C-alpha cells in the first residue's frame, strides 16, 4: 500500500516533549484532513506538543485507515486516528467490520452542523416554503449532497423531511463526489436544494452565492446569524457531524489523561477559537467517557433514521 508522505509541524520553542502521529482516513483536503492539521498546528503553536506528523490513508470508506491504524499503532510513539460521524454510518451499514468500540475514544474536537441551502436568488426563502412544495409533490425538485445515498448528507435531509411529514424515500436525492461538486450542482441548477455541512458551505455563504434555510445547530451560529435553527422553526432536530480523535485499543489511562489535558488547554485558547470561527465549526466538548456516551447516543439516532430510509434492517 502507498500512503501520502508524512507532513510535520515543529515548533522551535516547543517545551513539551510529546510527539504525536495522526492517521487520517482520507486524502489531503476535506474535513477530516483539515481538522487533523488544524488541531496539530494549534497544539504545536501553543507548545503543548513538540511535533505532530500526519499520514493520509484513504480508501475503503475509512476502513483501510482503520485496519492500518490497528495493525501499526505500536510503530509510533503516540498514535492517534481522526474520524467523524461516517464511522458510525458505515459501521451500521456493515460496510466494514469496525466500530468506535475497536478503538479508545479520546475526545470530540469539532462539530460541523448540517445545513439545507438554496441559491441566493431562489424564490423559496424559507424551509417552510421548501417543505410545503415537497408535501404537495415529493418529486418537485432534486436535493443534492456530497455523499452517497444512505450517507451523512442524505441522512440529515431525511431527518428534516421526516419532521415535515415528507417521505424521504420519495424525494429525489442526487449524490455527488464531495461537497464541492454538490455545491457546483446547486449553483449550476442541477439541483435546487443542497444538504451539506456548514464548514463546506461557509465560503459560498460569505460570497453571497447561497442562502441557508435552516441549520441543525442547537442555537444560531455566529457565522450565519441570520439563518434559523430547525429548533427555532419548531422541529426537534439537532445534529452535528463530529470530528474527533481516537487512540489504539488498550491505551494506558495516563496516555489518555495526557491527551485530554492538552486538548482542554487547546480548546480554551484564543488560537483555537479563531480557528473555529474561520472554519465555521463549533467546539465539541465531549472527552473520554462523555465522548463515548455521545457516540452511543448518535449511533442510536442514526440507526433509527437509516432503518426508516431503508439502509439498515431493523434486526441489525
Q: What is the CATH number of the domain that holds 43?
A: 3.40.190.150
Among 224, 254, 273, the domain boundary falls at: 224
Q: Is residue 232 part of a domain?
A: no
Residues 145 and 182 in one domain: yes
DSSP label at residue 60: G
Q: Is residue 315 part of a domain?
A: no
Residues 141 and 52 in one domain: no
Mean pLDDT of all residues belonging to the chain: 90
Torsion of CA 207, 34, 262, 270, to 10 degrees: -20
pLDDT digits (tens, 9 = 90+) for 114-137: 999 999 999 999 999 999 999 999
Place of cell 482503520: 66
Residues 104 and 253 in one domain: yes
CA distance 139 to 132: 12
pLDDT digits (tens, 9 = 90+) for 180-201: 899 999 999 999 999 999 988 9
Strand partners, 21: 53, 79
Burial of 71 (0-12, 13-18, 19+ CB in 10 A): exposed
Residues 62 and 120 in one domain: no
The answer to whether 120 and 194 are in contact (CB under 8 A) is no
What tens-digit pLDDT sequence spans the chain (316 residues)? 333 333 344 333 334 568 999 999 988 877 889 899 999 999 999 999 999 999 999 888 888 999 999 999 889 889 999 999 999 999 999 888 889 999 999 999 999 999 999 999 999 999 999 999 999 999 999 999 988 888 899 999 999 999 999 999 999 999 988 888 999 999 999 999 999 999 889 889 999 999 999 999 999 988 888 999 999 999 999 999 999 999 999 999 999 999 999 999 999 999 999 999 888 889 999 999 999 999 999 999 999 889 988 888 887 5
Question: How many domains does the chain contain in total?
Answer: 2
Residues 116 and 220 in one domain: yes
Q: Tell me the residue range of the domain where 98 lies.
A: 4-111+240-308
Among 224, 259, 291, the domain boundary falls at: 224
Residues 90 and 171 in one domain: no
Residues 181 and 40 in one domain: no
Amino acid at each position: 500500500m502507498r500512503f501520502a508522505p508524512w507532513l510535520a509541524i515543529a515548533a522551535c520553542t516547543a517545551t513539551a516533549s510529546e510527539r504525536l502521529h495522526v492517521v487520517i482516513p482520507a486524502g489531503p483536503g476535506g474535513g477530516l484532513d483539515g481538522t487533523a492539521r488544524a488541531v496539530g498546528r494549534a497544539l504545536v503553536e501553543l507548545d503543548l506538543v513538540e511535533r505532530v506528523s500526519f499520514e493520509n490513508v484513504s480508501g475503503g470508506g475509512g476502513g483501510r485507515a482503520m485496519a492500518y491504524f490497528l495493525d501499526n499503532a505500536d510503530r509510533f510513539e503516540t498514535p492517534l486516528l481522526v474520524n467523524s460521524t461516517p464511522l458510525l454510518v458505515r459501521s451500521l451499514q456493515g460496510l466494514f467490520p469496525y466500530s468506535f468500540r475497536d478503538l479508545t475514544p479520546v475526545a470530540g474536537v469539532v462539530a460541523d452542523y448540517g445545513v439545507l441551502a438554496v441559491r441566493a436568488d431562489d424564490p423559496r426563502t424559507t424551509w417552510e416554503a421548501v417543505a410545503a412544495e415537497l408535501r404537495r409533490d415529493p418529486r418537485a425538485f432534486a436535493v443534492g449532497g456530497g455523499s452517497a445515498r444512505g450517507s451523512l448528507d442524505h441522512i440529515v435531509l431525511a431527518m428534516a423531511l421526516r419532521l415535515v411529514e415528507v417521505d424521504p424515500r420519495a424525494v429525489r436525492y442526487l449524490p455527488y463526489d464531495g461537497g464541492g461538486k454538490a455545491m457546483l450542482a446547486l449553483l449550476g441548477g442541477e439541483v435546487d436544494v443542497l444538504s451539506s455541512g456548514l464548514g463546506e458551505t461557509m465560503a459560498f455563504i460569505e460570497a453571497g452565492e447561497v442562502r441557508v434555510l435552516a441549520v441543525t445547530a442547537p442555537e444560531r451560529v455566529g457565522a450565519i446569524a441570520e439563518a434559523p435553527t430547525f429548533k427555532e422553526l419548531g422541529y426537534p432536530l439537532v445534529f452535528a457531524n463530529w470530528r474527533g480523535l481516537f487512540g489504539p485499543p488498550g491505551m494506558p489511562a495516563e496516555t489518555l489523561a495526557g491527551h485530554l489535558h492538552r486538548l482542554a488547554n487547546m480548546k480554551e485558547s484564543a488560537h483555537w477559537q479563531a480557528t473555529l470561527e474561520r472554519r465555521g465549526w463549533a467546539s465539541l466538548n465531549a472527552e473520554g467517557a462523555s465522548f463515548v456516551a455521545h457516540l452511543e447516543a448518535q449511533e442510536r439516532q442514526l440507526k433509527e433514521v437509516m432503518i426508516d430510509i431503508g439502509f439498515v434492517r431493523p434486526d441489525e
